[in-house]
């Protein structure tokens, strides 16, 4: 990781937005994503005690994907169609994977999600990482392919190799580096991990303009 680039990015960000993500210039972006409201909904729909009926869990999964501004409009109907087409066994598998991902073995849950989604050609980083991010925005990271590849390249992150098919090993290694980067900047930038990667994205865009 290039620490000098990170600290330069932080200085330039606060020079442009003195109040950070509370700055009035950024409020339209913050409001457009409504992550706080969706986070509350996800914590309710996917609480540990809510996993009694796999069909309901899968329907709620599709509902959150449809509501999220982080998922492309192209993918949303595909997820809705997937849930409609899934067999009871597949719905059980998806429900169990989500439970493990949020409340049990994260590795088993992650790999279970990929296995089920791959059957419908939907094993993609944004879809796999969406619910964990909303459920714990201070701990889990949402992975967007282009942004992730650019962050790795721009900040010279070593030891991780991005691949289109989601893997837990990459997720663990990459998010470990992001947590280390969070520890080097003002705490206000890291309260929401989506906002933190948004800060990194804006920093790269500002660098290109200078």
Q: Render pLDDT for 185-209 as a digit per residue (tens, 0 to 9).
A: 999 888 899 989 999 998 888 776 6
pLDDT digits (tens, 9 = 90+) for 15-58: 888 888 888 888 777 777 678 899 999 999 999 999 989 999 99
**91 and 181 within one domain:** no
Q: Is the pLDDT of residue 13 over 70?
A: yes
Contact 137, 115 (CB under 8 A): no
- Looking at the structure, do residues 191 and 116 belong to the same domain, yes or no? no
This prediction has a pTM of: 0.91
- 18 and 53 together in one domain: no
Please determine, for residue 133, whether its predicted confidence score (pLDDT) is greater than 90: yes
> Which of 47, 61, 4, 22 is closest to 195 using CA atoms?
22
On whether both 101 and 41 belong to a single domain, the answer is yes
Question: Domain range spanning residue 17?
Answer: 3-33+141-209
Say yes or no: 81 and 51 in one domain. yes
């Amino acid at each position: 990781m290039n620490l000098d680039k990170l600290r330069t990015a932080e200085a330039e960000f606060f020079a442009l937005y003195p109040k950070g993500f509370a700055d009035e210039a950024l409020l339209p972006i913050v409001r457009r994503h409504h992550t706080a409201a969706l986070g509350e909904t996800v914590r309710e729909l996917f609480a540990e005690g809510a996993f009694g009926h796999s069909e309901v869990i899968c329907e709620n999964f599709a509902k959150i994907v449809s509501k999220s501004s982080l998922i492309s409009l192209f993918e949303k109907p595909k997820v809705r169609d997937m849930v409609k087409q899934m067999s009871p066994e597949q719905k059980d598998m998806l429900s169990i994977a989500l439970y493990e991902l949020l409340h049990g073995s994260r590795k088993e849950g992650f790999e279970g999600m990929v296995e089920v989604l791959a059957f419908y050609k939907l094993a993609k980083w944004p879809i796999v990482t969406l619910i964990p991010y909303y459920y714990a925005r201070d701990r889990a990271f949402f992975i967007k392919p282009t942004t992730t590849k650019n962050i790795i390249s721009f900040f010279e992150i070593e030891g991780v190799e991005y691949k289109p098919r989601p893997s837990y090993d990459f997720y663990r290694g990459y998010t470990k580096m992001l947590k280390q980067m969070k520890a080097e900047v003002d705490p206000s930038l890291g309260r929401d991990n989506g906002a933190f990667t948004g800060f990194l994205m804006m920093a790269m865009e500002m660098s290109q303009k200078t």
